[in-house]
Amino acid sequence: MSKCCPKGQHCTPEEPCTDVCTSPLCGDPTLLPVYAPVIYDELGVNICQTLTIDDNTFSTLTTAEKAFVQILDIDFGTTEISPLNGRPNCTEITLQNLAITMLIRLYSCSDQLLGTFTGTYTYLPPTTDPGYDEDTNPSSVTIELFTPYGISYEIAAGPPVTAVPSISYLGFTTENRTLTQGLNVTAQPKVLNLSIPDSQITVGLTLIVSNVVYSQYLIPHQGKVHVPKGSLEPEDDSLCLNFVNGDLLELDIKPLELGKPACEERLKNDCGCSGSGCCCKNRGPQNTPGNGT
């Protein structure tokens, strides 16, 4: 059976014979092939409102002088996502009625933690909501993003089966801490004012909406990260203790450098070797990393 070669590439096979299927190369590539989450377009907006904390403990922490806020999650409520008529490479996103879950920590002037509070608050609310403000917390914000490869969808069971446009928050819970392909939102909070007697905190938010598409790239690099290693105090000698006190394990097999100039995808030649690369040591640099000694 004939083998397929990459279209448009004319690479000279390496001599002597090399077969990475039996003897992977070791070391680091000159150009590292990676799957990268590429930001094709993004836009940010600032919104702000004063929040009332519905917890009686909040107003009792009278020595609190500082606050830390973290945005754990965002529910996008009635946010609307639609393609632009006549402009198929762009998408319109109208953010509205966002339910934003926050973690709020209060500290004393000496940075002693006094209390932790979690609550969900509405940003970009309906005009009838007490937190609505035309200038700082309007009912909606509409943006346009460049989305040439489309967006992500949730499939709704039918019949008929329908595709519902999806937008994700990259946050700090077990459900949202992973970047996804398509529309993503990140949020950066800032505490603008803290009023303990009134149980109020003013929080400004920067919301950044991004269109992310995963793509393959060759990246120049400066080698692997050398992880600092902690050591245990040795008390006796054993195989496990020697391992624990030894160097950290690293991934030693070199990724293939795809395409020119290296064309290492061509190094899958059947060199007549079976089993490990030991039988091929005289045929070139074919060290085989393994789990043994």
Q: What is the pLDDT of residues 134-167, one digit of tens each?
A: 999 999 999 999 999 999 999 988 789 999 999 9
Least confident of 22-31, 186-195, 277-286: 277-286
What per-residue confidence (pLDDT) applies to 58? 97
What per-residue confidence (pLDDT) applies to 287? 38
Pairing type for strands 167-169 and 141-146 reads unpaired
What per-residue confidence (pLDDT) applies to 12? 57
Q: In the chain, what are the domain boundaries?
A: 8-27+252-287, 36-218
197-232: buried (b, 16+ CB within 10 Å) or exposed (e) per residue?
eebebbbbbebebbbbbeeeeeeeeeeeeeeeeeee
Considering the chain, what percentage of its residues have pLDDT values greater than 70? 81
Overall average pLDDT of the 194-211 stretch: 95
Q: What is the pLDDT of residues 250-271, one digit of tens each?
A: 667 777 777 777 777 777 777 7
Sheet holding 80-84, edge to edge: 80-84, 87-95, 141-146
Q: What is the pLDDT of residues 39-68, one digit of tens each?
A: 999 999 999 999 999 999 999 999 999 999
HEC string of the chain equals CCCCCCCCCCCCCCCCCCECCCCCCECCCCEEEEEEEEEEEEEEEEEEEEEECCCCCHHHCCCCCEEEEEEEEEECCCCEEEEECCEEEEEEEEECCEEEEEEEEEECCCCCEEEEEEEEEEECCCCCCCCCECCCECCCEEEEEECCCCCCEEEECCCCCEEEECEEECCCCCCCCCCCCEEEEEEEEEEEEEECCCCEEEEEEEEEEEEEEEEEEEEECCCCCCCCCCCCCCCCCCHHHHHHCCCCCCCCECCCCCCCCCCHHHCECCCCCCCCHHHHHHHCCCCCCCCCC
Residues in Cβ contact with 7 at an 8 Å cutoff, skipping those fewer than 6 apart: none
CA of residue 146 relative to chain centroid, distance: 20
Which pTM value belongs to this model?
Answer: 0.78
